[in-house]
Amino acid sequence: MSAKRSLAEAEADTNGSGKLVPFTSYSDVHYVLVSLEGTLLSEEDINHMSKRALLTVNTAALPSAVQQVAVRLVAQLCTHPTVDSMDAVSGLVEALYTSEPSVRCEIYQAMLKLHELKGLFADVHLAIEAKQRLDDAVMRDLNHSQHHLRCSSLAVLPMVRPQKTQSTTVIDVFDTICKYTTDAHPKVRQTALNAIFREHLMAVNLPVEMYDECVVATKDDFEQVRLVAVELVWAISSTYPEYPVVIQKFKVTETIRLLDDAFVKICDMVNDSSVVVRQRACTILGRFKNVDSKFLSQTFSKQVMSHLRRFVPRGGTRGYAGRNRGVRGNQQRSFIPTPKGDADVESDEFRLLDSGAAGAFVHGLEDEYQEVRDAAIDSITELSIGNASFAAKAVDFLVDMFNDSSDRVRLCAIRALVSIGERSLIQLTEEQLSIALSAMKDASHIMRHGIYEFLAVSSLAKSENLAQLMTAFKSNLEKYPEDQMPIYLALKALGNNHSSMINAAFVRSLLGISEHYLSREARIDDIVYAGSIVLIMNTKVATRNTLVAVLPDYVYSHLPYLRDKYRGCLPDDILLTVPEKHLFVKHLLDTPHVDESVARLYLEDRRDAACKAFASLQDSLSRFCLGFNSQTIAASGDGGDHAIKSGAILKRKIDEYNIHQSSALSGTAEAEAEAAAAAADPSVRHYEHTVMYYARLASNIPDMQILSAKLYQHVEVLELASKTMYGLYEIEIRTVGLDLDSLLALRYLRLFAHALWLNCHQANLYDPRVAEKLMDEFSQRVRRLVQLAKSRSAEISALEILALDIKNKRISTESISTFIDSFKPLLFAPSTGRCQYALASFIKPSLKKRIIEFNHLFPLNLKIKSSVVWVPHRESIFVTVRMPTQKCVKLCPPPSSLKPLAPMHWSLEWDSVSVSLPLGSGESTSITIDIALRQAADMPWADSFIVKGNLVPRGYKIENYFKCLADDNDQYVDIHIADDGYTVNVNAVEFKPPASIHTRA
C-alpha cells in the first residue's frame, strides 16, 4: 500500500459534488501521515490532503485524537514548497476557538515547527485579522487551568509577538512571560524561562529588569527550572556587566556591578542539591570575564570577607548618625566579641553578599561527583587566564587534586596547571612538590607525562628541592624507560628556569665529581647521566661559562653524541660554551655527527641491491606473462606444472624485493639520507611499488586456474577473485600516470576475475537473475576490452574468441572455462618516472587530546586535518569512519574543507565531522578514521558484487541491489589511501540537559 492509495480512498470519500469529507477514524489519518515518508507525490495530491486534513481539524464533532493527528499531518504537508502555509495557519487559528485543549496544544506545537522550518512568523506575514485572532487565542490560553496548554501558548508567544527595536514591545512581551516564572506548576515555570533564554540565543537583548525574577528562580524546587535560571542570570549579567545593583543590608546601602552580583549568585548554586545544577554552575563560572578580584579570591576561602568595614547601628541610630568617611562623631559604639574563626552575622563587617562566593570552588573541587570537579577545574583554568593573583591561589588547590580518586579529574587538574604555567611560572612549595613527586609514580603513562609537563612550567624555591626532583627523575628513568624523552624535555625547561641554583656544588653532587680527585668517565649510554647533562647544558650561557672549571673534559666530548641522539634536548647555542681547548668537539658540533660520505656509501649499496632485486622481479614477470604459451606448455609435457613453477618463481622474487626494501640501515644519518633520496624522486619508488603489486596479483593466476576445476574448492577461488578485483582497482585508482597499455593489462586481468566468479560461484544459492546480470555485464566488459585492444593494436586471441562467441550468441559455461584455462596476463610495464601514488597522512593532535569526551545523547563532533597528495579530483576524496561494530560510515567532506596546495595536492581541514555512536553513558570505545578515494566501476553491478566476495548473502534479491544502485551507494569502488588510519579513543559522558517540550533546531 502507498500514500497514493490513500489519495484514491480520499477521492472515493468525496460526494458527487466534489466536496471534501474529513478523516473520520484515527487509523485513516495516521496511515496517511506515516505513508508520506519516502513517497513521491504530485502537487495536486499534496494540496488535496492538506485541505482534507484542515477540514478534519476544524470539525469539532470528531474525536480529539483524530484532530491531533490531523494537525501533525498539516504541519508535515506545510513543509512542502507547493503548500500555502498562510492558508494552513489561518485554518489552524480558526481551530483554536473550537477545539479541545489537547488539540490546541498540538496546534501550538505545529506552529513552532513551521516557524523553525519556514520562518512562519519572521519571513511570512499573516493577515491582520488572522494575526489578531491568534494573538487573542494565545493570551486566552495563557490563563487556562491545564498546565500543558499554558506551556504550549507560552512557547509560541515570543514568535506570535516578535521582538522589535522598540523597547516598549520588548518589555511588554517579557513582562507577560515573566508573570509565569512564578506559576504554580513547575513545567510552566520552566517553559517561561526557556522562552526567555531562546530569545537570548536569537540575539534579543533581555531587559535588565527581569534579573530579579531569574535570581528568584535559581531557588526553585524544580531542578530544570534552576538549570535555565542559572543560564539566564549569566546571560543578563554578560549583557549589562556595569549595571549598578544596590544591596541593602542592616540599613547599609552598597552599590556593586551586576556582573559581580551574578557571579556571587552563581557561586551560591555550587552548593545546590542537584548534581546537574552544581555542574552547570561550575561551568558557567568560567565564562565570567573581568570579575572583581575580591570576589574571585573569596571563592577559595570558606571564611567571610572581613575587609571594607562599615558601622552597623545597634538599637536606633546610635553610632551611625555622625559617621562620615570613617569619622565616628560624638557617639560611642561598642563591640560584641565573637569567637575566633566564626562569622558574626551581626557584626559591622559582615556582608551577606560576600558569603555566597565564599568557598565556591573549594566546594566544587570537593564534590563527590567527578563531573562537578571537572567543571570546577575547567572554570578555574578559564578565570586564571585573566587574573594572575587568582591563578596563584588556584595552584595549591589544583595540586591537591593530584590525589583525586578519578584519573580523569587528575588529568584535568594537570592540564589546568600546565595552562597556568605557560603564562607565568608556577612557584612550587615543598608540600606541593611532594604531592607532584608522588603523582610521578602513577601507573598511567598519560598521567606521568602530564606531571612532567607541569614540572617543566614550575619553579622551585631551593636547590635541595631540585636535587630531590632529580632523584625522582632517576627513579622513573630506571622504572619507566619509555618516559626518557618526556623527562629530558622537562629537564631542559627546568635547567632554563633554575640557572641560579645550578652552581658548582650542585653539579659536583649531581655528577658525583670529587673536588680533589679525578673522576671516572661516565658511560655515554647512561640515561641518568644524559639527563643530568641535559639539565646542566640548558642553563643560561653565563651559568655554563662559570661551570667550565667544574665539568670534566669528557662531558664536552659527549656533547656531539648527545645532541644527535636526543634531538631537541640540548640548546642551539651549546657551541658558545665549549672551551677553546676542545676544538675537535667544536668542529663536531658545527658539522653533522656522522660522516656523510659513509652514510652515502651505505645508501648506494642499499639502493644498488634493491635495484637488482627489482630488475630480477621485472624479468620474472616478463617470463611469466610472455615466456610461455599453449604451444610451449604442450611441448614440455608438464601442462599446468610449468605455469605453477613460473608463479612460484615470481612469488619468490617478490619476497626478495620486499626484503631489500624493508631492511633498515643502522644509524640515524643513513636513514635520513635514504629518506632524502626517496623524497628527491618519489616516482621511482611509486613505479616499483605498482609493478610489484601487479606481479603479486598475477602470481595467483595458476592457483586460481587449478582451483577453478575443483568445485569443492569454490570458496577459495571466490576469495582470490574478490581480492584480485579489489587489488586491480586499487592500482588503477591510486596510481596517477598509467598509460593505456597498462590500463589494458589491468582491465584484462579484471575480466579474468569476472570469468572466474561466473565459473565457480554456485548460482543456485542466489536469485537466478543475479547470474543473468553477471553474464550480461561480462559480455559488455568483453566488448569494451576488444575496442580498447584494437585502439592499442593488441592481438589477444582468447579475448577475440570470447567476443566471437558473444557475437554469435554462443557464450556458455564451457566457453568461459576454456577462457580461464587458456588465460595469460598481459605485460604490465608503465612508463618509468611518470607514476605517482595517491597517499593521505593525518596530522594528529598531541597525545593529551586523543581521548575525546562527548555527550552520549548527541553525535560526536570530530576535527580532521590531513594532507592528500596525487589525487586529480577533489570530488573523489571522502572520509570513512569505522565504528566499534566494524561498520564503515562514509562521509563526503564539504568543498570548503579541501584546499589545493599544489597540482593534485590537497589539504583537508574538516572541523565538524558528525558521527553517531551507539554508546551509553560511561562507555568507552575507539573509532578509526581513514581517507578513501571513490571511482565508478567498469561494470557497476558485477564488480561491486564480486568485491563483496563471500559477504553476499544467500537468497540475494536483485531488487535490493538495484535499489542500492538507485541510491548511488554501490556503483563505486572505494579504495583507502591512508597507510596508517587515525584511531581515536572516545568516552561517552553522561549529561542531563534542561528538559523542554520545545527544542529549537
Nearest partner of 826 among 804, 794, 803, 780, judged by Cα: 794
Nearest partner of 421 among 461, 457, 380, 383, judged by Cα: 457
Mean pLDDT of 586-615: 68
* Percent of the chain whose predicted confidence (pLDDT) is above 70: 78
From residue 683, how far is each of 71, 662, 680, 737, 742 by CA, in Å?
Answer: 65, 18, 9, 10, 16
Q: What residues are paired with 898 via a beta bridge?
A: 908
Tell me how crowded residue 64 is: count the other CB atoms within 10 A of its CB. Answer: 14
Mention every residue, 6+ apart, whose C-beta is less than 8 A from residue 323: 311, 329
Grid coordinates of 627? 615466456
Q: Is the Cβ–Cβ distance between 860 and 854 less than 8 Å?
A: yes
Mean pLDDT of 9-16: 47
Q: Is the Cβ–Cβ distance between 139 and 177 less than 8 Å?
A: no
Q: How far apart are CA 89 and CA 107, in angstroms?
A: 9
Tell me how crowded residue 292 is: count the other CB atoms within 10 A of its CB. Answer: 15
What is the pLDDT at residue 382?
A: 92
Q: How far apart are CA 644 and CA 624, in angstroms?
A: 10
pLDDT class of 763 with cuts at 50, 70, 90: low
Mean pLDDT of 459-465: 91
Q: How far apart are CA 8 and CA 11, in angstroms?
A: 5
pLDDT class of 791 with cuts at 50, 70, 90: confident
From residue 10, how far is each of 18, 769, 793 by CA, in Å?
Answer: 11, 39, 66
Name the residue type at position 641: D
Please say if the pLDDT value at position 320 is more than 60: no
Between 278 and 583, the more confident residue is 278
Q: Is the Cβ–Cβ distance between 559 and 590 less than 8 Å?
A: no
**Most confident of the following: 458-472, 546-560, 621-635, 676-690:** 458-472
Pairing mode of beta strands 426-428, 458-460: parallel
What is the pLDDT at residue 42?
A: 74
pLDDT class of 677 with cuts at 50, 70, 90: very low
Residue with the three cell numbers 559480455: 779
Q: Give the tens place of pLDDT for each residue, 393-407.
A: 999 999 999 999 888
**Most confident of the following: 278-282, 599-603, 613-617:** 278-282
pLDDT class of 118 with cuts at 50, 70, 90: low
3-state secondary structure of 422: coil
List Cβ<8 Å contacts ≥24 apart for 132-136: 133/93, 133/94, 133/96, 133/97, 134/93, 134/96, 134/160, 135/160, 135/161
Q: How far apart are CA 860 and CA 723, in angstroms?
A: 34
Q: Cα 96 to the chain's mean position, in Å?
A: 46
Q: Is the Cβ–Cβ distance between 727 and 875 less than 8 Å?
A: no
What is the pLDDT at residue 322?
A: 37
pLDDT class of 449 with cuts at 50, 70, 90: very high
Between 200 and 451, the more confident residue is 451
What is the pLDDT at residue 953?
A: 47
Mean pLDDT of 904-921: 84
Q: What are the strands, taking DSSP E only, across 356-419?
A: none
What is the pLDDT at residue 954?
A: 44
Q: How far apart are CA 266 and CA 285, in angstroms?
A: 7
3-state secondary structure string, 469-518?
HHHHHHHHHHHCHHHHHHHHHHHHHHHHHCCCCCCHHHHHHHHCCCCCCC
pLDDT class of 970 with cuts at 50, 70, 90: low
3-state secondary structure of 709: coil
pLDDT class of 426 with cuts at 50, 70, 90: very high
Summary mean pLDDT of the chain: 79
Lowest mean pLDDT among 104-113, 231-240, 913-922: 913-922
Mean pLDDT of 591-611: 63
pLDDT class of 497 with cuts at 50, 70, 90: very high
Residue with the three cell numbers 672549571: 549
Q: Please return the burial class of 569, using the count of CB atoms within 10 Å of its CB with bins 0-12, 13-18 and 19+.
A: buried
Mean pLDDT of 444-449: 91
3-state secondary structure string, 731-800?
HHHHEECCCHHHHHHHHHHHHHHHHHHHHHCCHHHCCHHHHHHHHHHHHHHHHHHHHHHHHCCCCCHHHH
Between 485 and 356, the more confident residue is 485
Q: Give the tens place of pLDDT for each residue, 864-879.
A: 889 999 898 888 998 9
Phi-psi region of 315 (alpha: psi -120 to 50; beta: other; left: phi over 0): left
Q: How far apart are CA 507 and CA 522, in angstroms?
A: 14
From residue 869, how far is each of 836, 840, 908, 933 by CA, in Å?
Answer: 9, 6, 11, 12
Nearest partner of 278 among 217, 218, 190, judged by Cα: 218
Q: Give the tens place of pLDDT for each residue, 702-728.
A: 888 888 777 555 778 888 888 899 899
Start-to-end CA distance of the chain, whole Å, equals 33
Q: Is the Cβ–Cβ distance between 854 and 869 less than 8 Å?
A: no
Grid coordinates of 4? 497514493
Measured over the CA atoms of residue 870, residue 875, residue 879 and residue 885, the dihedral's sign is: negative
Q: What residues are paired with 891 via a beta bridge?
A: 879
Residue 209 DSSP one-character state: G
Pairing mode of beta strands 905-915, 898-902: antiparallel
Mean pLDDT of 681-690: 74
Please say if the pLDDT value at position 593 is more than 80: no
The reported pTM is 0.55
Element of type H or E holding 128? helix 128-141
Q: Is the Cβ–Cβ distance between 275 and 266 less than 8 Å?
A: no
What is the pLDDT at residue 641?
A: 65
Q: Give the tens place of pLDDT for each residue, 132-182.
A: 888 888 888 888 888 888 888 888 888 777 554 444 455 577 888 888 888
Q: Is the Cβ–Cβ distance between 332 and 319 less than 8 Å?
A: yes
Residue 900, phi then psi, degrees to nearest 5 = -75, 130
What is the pLDDT at residue 311?
A: 36
Helices (H), 161-257: 167-178, 186-201, 211-217, 223-239
Between 47 and 308, the more confident residue is 47
Please say if the pLDDT value at position 951 is more than 60: no
Q: Is the Cβ–Cβ distance between 180 and 144 less than 8 Å?
A: no
What is the pLDDT at residue 989?
A: 74
Mention every residue, 6+ apart, whose C-beta is less than 8 A from residue 520: none
Residue 899, phi then psi, degrees to nearest 5 = -115, 130
Residue with the three cell numbers 568557598: 359
Q: Is the Cβ–Cβ distance between 460 and 501 less than 8 Å?
A: yes
Mean pLDDT of 42-51: 80
What is the pLDDT at residue 250?
A: 59
Q: Give the tens place of pLDDT for each residue, 356-372.
A: 678 889 999 999 999 99
**Most confident of the following: 62-66, 458-462, 563-567, 798-802:** 458-462
Mean pLDDT of 552-571: 87
Q: Please return the burial class of 920, using the count of CB atoms within 10 Å of its CB with bins 0-12, 13-18 and 19+.
A: exposed
DSSP string of 936-995, one letter each residue: E-SSHHHHHHHHHGGGSPTT--HHHHHHHHHTTSSSEEEEE-BSS-EEEEEEEE---PPP
Phi-psi region of 38 (alpha: psi -120 to 50; beta: other; left: phi over 0): left
Please say if the pLDDT value at position 120 is more than 70: no
Angle between helices 186-201 and 147-160 (to 10 degrees): 20
Grid coordinates of 614? 627489482
Helices (H) and strands (E) in the chain, counts: 42, 16
* Percent of the chain whose predicted confidence (pLDDT) is above 90: 20
Mean pLDDT of 933-953: 75
Please say if the pLDDT value at position 307 is more than 50: no
Please say if the pLDDT value at position 898 is more than 80: yes
Mean pLDDT of 699-704: 88
Q: How far apart are CA 177 and CA 179, in angstroms?
A: 5
Please say if the pLDDT value at position 222 is more than 50: yes
